[in-house]
Amino acid sequence: MELFTRWHTWDTARADITASAVPLDADALDRAVAAARRWHGDQQRPTGAPYLEHLLEALEVLVRGAGVTAPAVLTAAILHDVVEDTPATLPDVEAEFGPKVTELVDWVTKPPAPGAGRQAKRAAKAAYLRRLGDAPPEAILVKLADRVSNVQTLDRMPLDFQRRYYAETLTYIIPLADPHPWFSAWYASWRTRFAHLL
């Protein structure tokens, strides 16, 4: 199972992109990274890592793994959590990045749960994940890359979380990967690696 943890900083990612023969607009990605830094601020992941590392991992998955070059998809990957996890709004994203990127970010943004209880939050998340089955293919690519970043080092999380997240990934995410050969193969390998969590 290949890990995508090389691009811890935008400088490293940009250098790899520039050195590769992949036709990507690094300057456009500069803008997305700058916006993500501004909106996420000093926010951290549950592991204590800077939030930007997760966004760059999702970008790395798409570029180095799946070979995606579509500018809107790559920009949305960098911005995929700004509406869900920061004060940024969809109109903020649209003002800077246009309607296509905003549509993709909107599809992968989990809506706030009605009510504060754990059951309400889980039900809202399940509804959101089911809705992704109707998402456009570009939005599904963003979600698949996001989840690769989240699950590739699942063994660093508490065991009860690992089991719950593994089951959720099997139920909702892996079926989304079926039409995408690279993602389908990666998730098959991941599923085997973490099969002990069943």
The answer to whether residue 85 is catalytic is yes
- CA torsion 179→181→187→190, rounded to 10°? 170
Catalytic residue among 16, 85, 92, 94: 85
Q: How far is CA 117 from CA 40, 162, 191, in A?
A: 26, 21, 30
Indicate the burial class of 100 (C-beta count within 10 angstroms; 0-12, 13-18, 19 or more).
Answer: middle
Catalytic-role residue among 53, 84, 92, 168: 84
**Residue 130 in tokens:** 């089911």
d(Cα 144, Cα 134) in Å, to the nearest integer? 14
Reduce the DSSP state of residue 175 to 3 states and report it. helix
Q: Which of 141, 148, 137, 143 is nearest to 186 (CA)?
A: 148
Residue closest to 60 by CA, chosen among 105, 20, 27, 93:
20
The catalytic residues are: 84-85
